[in-house]
Amino acid sequence: MSVPAAGEPAAGGTPASGASVDPDAFRRVVGQFATGVTVVTACVDGVDHAMTASAFTSVSLDPVLVLVCVDKDARFHEAILEAGSWAVSVLDASGRRAAEWFAARGRPLIGQMDRVPHHRGPVSGAALLESSLAWLECRTTAVYDGGDHDIVVGEVLAVEHGPADGVPLVYYRGSYRELS
């Protein structure tokens, strides 16, 4: 497969760069891609920080790497960069309320973990949500510009899985759903 040079038409005759895509149309189109739901956490100076993320994926097996995309305007952005280590809870269907809570802008920072059952990761010290299928603890190895988000790559330092019969929480067409 060849990639057109900048400004050359791509397959189908549309320009390869400079094209204007309506952000609302883009959001609807990518909403057709079902994703798992995670809550990413970090602890900075004894204060818990958290955010819901569906833009999370594995990157590499050697070394073992994952990535999460973090909005540059979110308060979690500075926290994950400052902490250096962080954790990911892969939510099960019972984690919907937690996902909604950690996606809400303007929620209080202090005490935000009080309403969500969790335990501390032994490696990162970050909160790991109980309503999860799996947990990962990571150390930031690289940060890349991704437009209005930064792409934070982390080396996985520890993993743990929950019940084998758990039901995952997914995000599809703008809403949380259970995969059964």
CATH of the domain at 148: 2.30.110.10
- Decide if 103 contacts 53 (C-beta within 8 A): no
Establish if 145 belongs to a structural domain: yes
Taking alpha carbons only, the member of 85, 143, 92 closest to residue 117 is: 92
Q: Which two tokens stand for residue 161?
A: 């899985």
Establish if 172 belongs to a structural domain: no
Establish if 13 belongs to a structural domain: no
Using one digit for the tens of pLDDT, what is the confidence trace for 145-155?
999 999 999 99
Establish if 18 belongs to a structural domain: no
**122: pLDDT confidence band, cut at 50, 70 and 90?**
very high
Establish if 171 belongs to a structural domain: no
Does residue 16 surpass a pLDDT of 70? no
- Decide if 124 contacts 106 (C-beta within 8 A): no
Establish if 21 belongs to a structural domain: no
Using one digit for the tens of pLDDT, what is the confidence trace for 33-47?
889 999 999 999 999
Establish if 24 belongs to a structural domain: no
Does residue 11 surpass a pLDDT of 80? no
Domain membership of residue 59 as a residue range: 36-165
Domain count, the chain: 1
Integer-rounded Cα radius of gyration of the chain: 18
Alpha-carbon distance 64 to 6, whole Å? 33
Establish if 28 belongs to a structural domain: no
Question: What are the beta bridge partners of residue 129?
Answer: 118
